[in-house]
Amino acid sequence: MANMVKFGAVVVAATAILSSSAAAQGGFVGVEGALLQSQVKLDDIYPSVLDDPKDTSIELGLKAGYDFDVFRVWGGYSYRTKGSEDYNMKDGADFINGEFNWQTHNILVGADYTPSLTDSFKLTLGAYTGISIVRGEFTGQAQFTTQDSYGTYEFTLSDNSITGVGSIWGAKLGGIYEVVENNEIEFGIKGDYKITDIEDYDNILNYGVYVGYNYKF
């Protein structure tokens, strides 16, 4: 009789654990917003006295994935609003008077490690990658010379825009708080690096804070 009681207790405990684990797993959809500092690395043809343009941009995104309790995988889309910086410089015959601006669309896949710290709060440590569609534009006029080991070159630049498809690599660190059942708030810091694959804009570095909402089903 005692053995049967012990066996029954084990079955009840195992059932509770499995039920809890199953409840923690499932699909989810979410929305996210971020406030990011964005900095473009200009091509080496530009004079070294010209600082790389930087600005604050806002990111808006959608995602969907599957939560395996201690980790999750997801895919999504995000749009980053235009960043820009104005220049008005003159040095002898060289001058630049105009604005650089850039904006991106990103198609992403990612994975997050999400260990539970309490019943309603999880740590999240994740990485993501994907395709980044970058539109860069210069509005204004510029003329300058540059040198390399092969000689001296003169460049002129006027109103110009170009779009390229590159790659993006990023990481994030934050937390997930379950407000009520199936409803989560996610927040933290993130940063990523984009290779633009277009002239003039070699790469773009972004970092900042994010907050989002997830619905689990």
Transcribe 96-129 into DSSP letters.
EEEEEEEEEEEEEEEEEE--BSSSSEEEEEEEEE
More confident position, 158 or 193: 193
Looking at residue 144, what is its pLDDT? 73
Name the amino acid, one letter, at 123.
Answer: L
Bridge-based pairing state of the strands 151-157 and 183-195: unpaired
Average pLDDT of the residues in 100-118: 96
Binned at pLDDT 50, 70 and 90, residue 35 comes out as very high
Looking at residue 109, what is its pLDDT? 98
Q: Which domains does the chain have, with CATH numbers?
A: 28-216 (2.40.160.20)
Mean pLDDT of the chain: 85
Whole-number Å distance between alpha carbons of 167 and 134: 10
Average pLDDT of the residues in 102-106: 95
Query: Of 37-46, 61-70, 130-139, 204-213, which gets the smallest average pLDDT?
Result: 37-46
Whole-number Å distance between alpha carbons of 29 and 217: 9
Q: Which long-range contacts (CB under 8 A, 24 or more apart) does 8-14 make?
A: none
What are the pLDDT digits (tens) for 6-27?
444 443 343 344 344 444 689 9
* pLDDT over 60 at 197, yes or no: yes
Whole-number Å distance between alpha carbons of 129 and 166: 11
Please list, in sequence order, all residues whose beta carbon lies within 8 angstroms of the beta carbon of residue 44, skipping any fewer than 6 positions away: 146
Please list, in sequence order, all residues whose beta carbon lies within 8 angstroms of the beta carbon of residue 72, skipping any fewer than 6 positions away: 28, 65, 66, 111, 112, 114
Looking at residue 2, what is its pLDDT? 52
